[in-house]
Homo-oligomer: A and B are copies of this chain.
């Protein structure tokens, strides 16, 4: 049971939330788990809270950002992930009666998401007003084999009804995006950006082609609906819809099959139909069960790399697998795409990519599927020129400045104090390049891509910061904690930049041996030795705030001087604070949306001693609201680090079950991808205490008493290392590759083929 998400009964109030949970995707295509029979007209008629959604990763429209007061360097346009042509609808008539939750009776129903098989199923025993009963089984799948394919199946089994059945299967081009002006995390404008351009009806199938308003991207969907018995079929077009009507006589179990393939002009060029028709012709032959077979194999490989087995808590086990499944479904696997804050499961944050990728999701793939991780970095490399341009707009004569939120690589945020001011994203991306190098030893990548990012980012920070009596300072920026903005010397930023400088110098020294390739790079970007010296100096003199009295790290220069927010007397319904208090009030108090300094201590623990780390953790824990979904995973990891195992477990629960239990109350707008990555991280970096440093792999295995045991594997420099921890012992094993020196609880040892296991406790 720890591989299936199951929901019994239908509760229309929870529909949007379930739609997110049951999203199917493959990193290219994402389909929310909408109900086949609740089409847009039904939604409007019955005023149902449902967000019908179909998305292609990186498929966007450019939309004008509205400003009442626009200043220099504000981005003119944003990108918006569009809701595409809707193929989910399959309506069924039993004679003259439409199957609908609003007329007949749903005797029983159940939805299942098969995490191992990669498809979803919904079983419904339905009784019409006139007493006709059938059992319906809806199946759906977004294929890992044919990434453009969304396949549906409905099996109709007669219970007491035998007679005429009419199927109405539609392709609906009249689609809009979801807008909600009450929540700053949702889109406020531009609901209608996709316009139907053409369609064609063939004998058995049809296609519809739409185009975006401003980016002029095209999307086409081919769709075919068929029934496995004698039937009458008509395809027609009316009012932006292609309607396939199939009538047949229901006499025994009957299968309705619908295959939809989504192609876009980003990947398939302008001549979209011509370039893709044959792909559809090929894919339509494959059966649903063949597709499941492929899904299962594909997922087996995936889980083999990344699954975390937890014993003693099925609830948690399921949460972890649910998250890993959705990460795979959401992450882009081509050069156009990355992973958006909500994956392909909803429209929150408009499908934008954030630093979430590098700090919360990248590590998962890096340790389990390094090729996917590499693709995430390549996406950044591909937008380097845009980041360079942005840096100039921000007034920097050199370096790069990556956008805070984006799809195609340009800044999409209208509120710079919590976007462009978050310069740390450049250090975060550099950090990930370095981490990739530390885990893979991929020198070629560094020479071709990674080092350039690290150098250009270092250049930016030289230009951004300045020297004063304290050393090298960075003023007027915003750290990860968005409940504080435009501050001086945010510790997180400074320490990450210090690391960026350090590695710029290191990489220079490492890579210069590779004469030709390195010369090519330094020539290309005009890097001089004088600059390397600058990096070295700035690294050495980087100012890092420290409070002696409290023996903690202040979040920034003035953070500790602010009055505390009275969290104890803030009513529960006033969270998240950002939806109930003016930012000015939030900014002038000590209150954190999420881990900031605590996150810095996770990423770069060697900058402080354990006492500072502990004190700092305790200090910020008291004033952190975790209003950001990026928070609890980091607090879990760091609670574990300082030995507060049970506390770590509590945070871990919040992390692992965030979407399943809808604890942030906005799962309806999409799943929290970074938190899903955080779940994995909470075990691997938290429970097992994994740390990756230069030529140093270390563990500090711990286990909360609520868990019997846990087990996972990681890939590291061509090796596979497995970790097993239970209440009495742990076992770290080299599964593949050459022997390697590791550290367990600071004790050095060689993990090799001969010394296969280490037990202890």
Contacts and interface: CB of A to CB of B under 8 A. Distances in A.
Interface of A: 65-73, 78, 181, 184, 188-189, 393-395, 413-417, 420-421, 466, 468, 473, 475-477, 485-486, 488, 557-558, 561-563, 578-585, 587-588
A414 B188 CA distance: 15
B561 A473 contact: yes
Given A475-B561, A475-B562, A584-B416, A188 B68 contact: yes
A582 B414 contact: no
A557 B189 CA distance: 39
B68 A68 contact: no
27 contacts: A66-B66, A66-B68, A67-B414, A68-B188, A69-B184, A69-B188, A70-B181, A70-B184, A71-B582, A72-B580, A72-B583, A73-B583, A394-B582, A394-B584, A394-B585, A395-B581, A416-B583, A417-B486, A420-B582, A466-B563, A468-B561, A473-B561, A475-B561, A475-B562, A475-B588, A476-B584, A485-B486
Given A69-B188, A477-B584, 17 more contacts: A66-B68, A68-B78, A68-B413, A69-B415, A70-B188, A72-B581, A72-B582, A394-B585, A395-B582, A416-B582, A416-B583, A416-B584, A417-B417, A475-B562, A476-B587, A488-B558, A488-B561
B72 A475 contact: no
Given A394-B582, A476-B587, A587-B476, A69 B561 contact: no
Interface centre among A71, A73, A189, A421 (most CB of B within 10 A): A71
B188 A67 contact: yes
B466 A585 contact: no
A73 B184 CA distance: 12
A66 B70 CA distance: 11
Contact of A558 (B184, B558, B578, B581): B558
Contacts of A581: 72-73, 395
Given A189-B66, A485-B486, A582 B476 contact: no
A363 B189 CA distance: 45
Nearest to A414: B68
Contacts of A420: 582, 584
A414 to B, nearest CB: 4
Contacts of A557: 558
A494 to B, nearest CB: 14
A419 B14 CA distance: 41
Nearest to A562: B475
B395 A71 contact: no
B476 A588 contact: yes
A355 B78 CA distance: 34
B587 A486 contact: yes
Contacts of A485: 486
A583 B475 contact: no
A528 to B, nearest CB: 22
A558 B578 CA distance: 26
Contacts of A416: 582-584
Contacts of A578: 71-72
Contacts of A580: 72
Contacts of A562: 466, 475-476
Nearest to A394: B582
A582 B423 CA distance: 14
B71 A583 contact: yes
A534 to B, nearest CB: 16
Nearest to A350: B68
Interface centre among A184, A189, A420, A583 (most CB of B within 10 A): A583
A701 to B, nearest CB: 43
Contacts of A78: 68
Given A416-B584, A468-B561, A68 B65 contact: yes
A407 B480 CA distance: 38
A221 B181 CA distance: 39
A582 B69 CA distance: 14
A536 B526 CA distance: 62
Nearest to A412: B68
A584 B68 contact: no
Nearest to A488: B558
B563 A184 contact: no
A705 B62 CA distance: 61
A750 to B, nearest CB: 50
Contacts of A394: 582, 584-585
Nearest to A405: B69
A700 to B, nearest CB: 38
